[in-house]
Amino acid sequence: VGAHIPIAVGAAWAGVVQGTGQVSVVFFGDGATNIGAFHEAVNLAAIWDLPVVFVCENNLYMEYTPISAVSPVEHPAADRASAYGLERIVVDGNDADVMYEIATTTIEKARRGEGPSIVEAMTYRHKGHSRADPGKYRPDEEVAAWMARDPIPIYRERLQAGGVPPAVLDDIERLAMEEIDATTELIRNAPPPGPETLMTDVWANGGSEWRN
């Protein structure tokens, strides 16, 4: 858990060295905030003012365990931001407009060379942690309250209130589902990858040449 977070920091550092202007945005769950890799990555990014946006999707549960049972703070990412000299940011992860605004703000900050940000987005799983997890450990009232905050129907209502015709929204949803179904069938019917692809994209090419 969280092993990919330092990789995002490395990608950000590579972008700085190469002058690409790129920003790394890395997503992880609340459980990853108790892993050493998270803290090491944030610390390094803060020290070097690297262009990274750390996005913690806090869905209240670390697999099967409430994050509140294993974290001494209410917001395991945002409440620890000050330890690295960063701003505490907690947002409604189920509000698309809020997420767009905070993404724009933090990415622009990173591109200006003003360092990383930690964004803790409060959200919820619709299902268990995996297909084998019925999620019985979550209170029914809690599940119902969060399901009422499903961001997709909420945003549909917002768009309709803003004047977008329902027929247009129906077409968007239909086209999206058709694309998903077509892609699923394409993958199901594709031949299995051959053994020659085993090492593809495992190691970066070029060695140390890019440093010169």
Structure pTM?
0.88
Mean pLDDT for 105-117 is 98
Residue 131's pLDDT band (cuts 50, 70, 90): confident
- Classified as helix, coil or strand, 171 is helix
pLDDT at residue 210 greater than cutoff 60: no
**Which residue bears the tokens 């930690």?**
118
Mean pLDDT for 39-49 is 98
What φ, ψ does residue 137 adopt, rounded to 5°? -80, -5
**In the structure encoding, which two tokens stand for residue 129, read together?**
């942690």
- In DSSP notation, 77-133 reads TGGGGGGGT----EEETT-HHHHHHHHHHHHHHHHTT---EEEEEE---SS-SSTT-
Within a 10 A sphere around the Cβ of 130, how many other Cβ atoms? 9
What φ, ψ does residue 88 adopt, rounded to 5°? -85, 115
Residue 34 near residue 76 (C-beta atoms within 8 A): yes
pLDDT at residue 198 greater than cutoff 80: yes
Interatomic CA distance for residues 199 and 182, integer angstroms: 28
Q: Walk across the sheet containing 90-92 and list its strands.
A: 24-29, 52-58, 117-122, 90-92
Interatomic CA distance for residues 139 and 70, integer angstroms: 18
**In the structure encoding, which two tokens stand for residue 185, read together?**
């069938």
Q: List alpha helices for the chain, DSSP H.
A: 5-18, 36-47, 96-111, 140-147, 151-161, 166-189
pLDDT at 45: 98
Residue 25's pLDDT band (cuts 50, 70, 90): very high
Max CA-CA distance within the chain? Answer: 59
8-18 residue pLDDT tens: 999 999 999 99
pLDDT at 110: 98
Interatomic CA distance for residues 8 and 27, integer angstroms: 10
Interatomic CA distance for residues 17 and 14, integer angstroms: 5
Mean pLDDT for 51-77 is 96
